[in-house]
């Protein structure tokens, strides 16, 4: 296998974790890193170069692909710059904070004929693959209604992270966009959305300015519907997705690390993260009682998350190396997953401001 040479933009919790994983993969290495207070230490650890600017990173001829793991509002420039220099792009979620930026970024990669992959890591959970297959096999009939919750409670913080500021993160619906993506993977892109909520309990010093309660209703072509709950204003924290079909139902429970299929009066259980990890994850989640989690400078990647990231980045490496894209993951490369999730998240916030149903626009430029 030809070695794929990587550059990294953003050396925070996820970026540093990705760089370490890439550096450990066969057929991959990190050549240079840029951005963030931990960049110098990471470069020393990986024995790679530290560069002083985005232009310097993009101008390097010894880099084939760029990982963009900068704060969410800072994805557009590195993605478009990388594409213009002929470099393949892996961009962490959310791909963008507006549909306009999303379309411009996808267009730049398309015009440059480089691969672009969005980091919707839930597609690399063992159990999400199981759910996709169960639905494809007709185990629950036609999916007609989904419900998702990703909720918890947050206390005042001595330092307010960029993740809690709307302009930088887009708030809960963008920062925790995975669930919105998974539902649309199952039901297709949503066509209408209505949102209520607001910042109900987390205003003032020690908090950001994001909405802490978001209640969403979504409509889909063909009549299917979904409801979602997001935010840090819930004393009873949950994290699950329920998919109800004409013949059965599936519950993907991230908090309890399990998948449950109900059909014809019987129940079948399947691993979520994998048999090696599920009990460990469930115990950790029970102790923190929340679906809201953030990495920090001192955090180590949990084993199950590191394993998912390894599969995700190995997939990107393989595609850059010339291997065919798995049909089940094509939506991560062709813009479908990026576009539908960003369009819906953006429309949800418009609906919240206008207190009205909003039609979602997801068409190509």
Q: For residues 164 and 67, state if they share a domain.
A: no
Q: Please write the tens of the pLDDT for every residue from 220-267.
A: 999 999 999 999 999 999 999 999 999 999 999 999 999 999 999 999
Asked whether 98 and 194 are in contact (CB, 8 A), the reply is: no
Residue 327 resides in a domain: no
Measured distance CA(152)–CA(293) in Å, rounded: 9
What's residue 300's pLDDT?
A: 80
Residue 329 resides in a domain: no
Give the CATH number of the domain where residue 38 resides. 3.40.50.720
Asked whether 278 and 271 are in contact (CB, 8 A), the reply is: yes
178: left (phi over 0), alpha (psi -120 to 50) or beta: alpha
H helices within 113-216, ranges in order? 126-136, 166-169, 172-175, 178-187
Q: For residues 206 and 273, state if they share a domain.
A: yes
Q: For residues 92 and 183, state if they share a domain.
A: no
Measured distance CA(155)–CA(143) in Å, rounded: 37
What's residue 287's pLDDT?
A: 73
What's residue 364's pLDDT?
A: 37
Q: For residues 97 and 240, state if they share a domain.
A: no
Measured distance CA(149)–CA(163) in Å, rounded: 19
Measured distance CA(108)–CA(359) in Å, rounded: 26
Last-in-domain residue among 61, 96, 119: 119
Q: For residues 87 and 140, state if they share a domain.
A: no
What residues have CB less than 8 Å from 232, skipping those under 6 apart? 151, 152, 153, 154, 172, 202, 210, 212, 292
Nearest to 262 by CA among 134, 349, 122, 81: 134
Nearest to 193 by CA among 162, 226, 165: 226
Measured distance CA(153)–CA(15) in Å, rounded: 26
Q: For residues 209 and 252, state if they share a domain.
A: yes
Nearest to 23 by CA among 316, 295, 313, 296: 313
What's residue 285's pLDDT?
A: 84
What's residue 365's pLDDT?
A: 33
Q: For residues 95 and 128, state if they share a domain.
A: no
**For the chain, what is the domain count?**
2
With tokens 């399947």, the residue in question is 270
- Parts of the chain with a pLDDT under 50: 363-365
Q: For residues 142 and 278, state if they share a domain.
A: yes
Asked whether 33 and 39 are in contact (CB, 8 A), the reply is: yes
Q: For residues 113 and 128, state if they share a domain.
A: no
Q: For residues 145 and 157, state if they share a domain.
A: yes
Residue 58, Cα to own-chain centre: how many angstroms? 24
Give the CATH number of the domain where residue 176 resides. 3.30.360.10
What's residue 286's pLDDT?
A: 79
Q: For residues 143 and 283, state if they share a domain.
A: yes
Q: Please write the tens of the pLDDT for every residue from 75-128.
A: 999 999 999 999 999 999 999 999 999 999 999 999 999 999 999 999 999 999
Stated pTM of the model: 0.94
Q: Using alpha carbons only, how large is the chain's radius of gyration in Å?
A: 20
What's residue 296's pLDDT?
A: 60
């Amino acid at each position: 296998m030809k070695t794929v040479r990587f550059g990294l933009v953003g050396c925070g919790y996820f970026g540093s974790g990705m760089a370490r994983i890439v550096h450990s993969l066969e057929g991959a290495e990190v050549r240079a890193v840029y951005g963030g207070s931990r960049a110098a230490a990471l470069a020393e650890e990986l024995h790679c170069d530290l560069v002083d600017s985005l232009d310097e990173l993009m101008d390097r001829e010894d880099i084939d692909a760029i990982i963009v793991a900068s704060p969410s509002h800072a994805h557009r420039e590195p993605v478009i710059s990388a594409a213009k220099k002929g470099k393949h792009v892996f961009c962490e979620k959310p791909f963008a904070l507006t549909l306009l930026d999303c379309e411009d970024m996808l267009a730049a990669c398309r015009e440059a004929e480089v691969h672009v992959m969005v980091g919707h890591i839930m597609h690399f959970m063992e159990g999400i693959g199981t759910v996709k297959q169960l639905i494809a096999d007709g185990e629950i009939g036609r999916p007609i209604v989904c419900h998702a919750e990703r909720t918890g409670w947050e206390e005042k913080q001595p330092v307010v992270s960029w993740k809690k500021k709307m302009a930088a993160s887009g708030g809960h619906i963008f920062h925790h966009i995975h669930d919105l993506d998974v539902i649309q993977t199952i039901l297709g892109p949503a066509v209408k959305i209505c949102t209520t909520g607001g910042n109900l309990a987390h205003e003032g010093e020690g908090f950001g300015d994001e909405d802490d309660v978001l209640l969403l209703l979504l409509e889909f072509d063909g009549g299917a519907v979904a409801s979602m709950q997001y935010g840090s204003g819930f004393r009873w924290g949950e994290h699950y997705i329920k998919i109800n079909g004409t013949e059965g139902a599936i519950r993907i429970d991230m908090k309890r690390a399990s998948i449950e299929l109900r059909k014809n009066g019987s129940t079948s259980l399947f691993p979520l993260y994998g048999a090696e990890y599920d009990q460990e994850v469930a115990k950790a989640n029970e102790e923190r009682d929340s679906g809201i989690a953030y990495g920090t400078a001192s955090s180590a990647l949990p084993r199950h998350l590191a394993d998912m990231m390894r599969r995700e980045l190995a997939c990107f490496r393989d595609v850059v190396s010339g291997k065919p894209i798995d049909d089940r993951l094509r939506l991560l490369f062709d813009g479908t997953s990026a576009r539908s999730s960003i369009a819906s998240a953006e429309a949800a916030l418009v609906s919240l401001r206008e207190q009205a149903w909003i039609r979602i626009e997801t068409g190509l430029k």
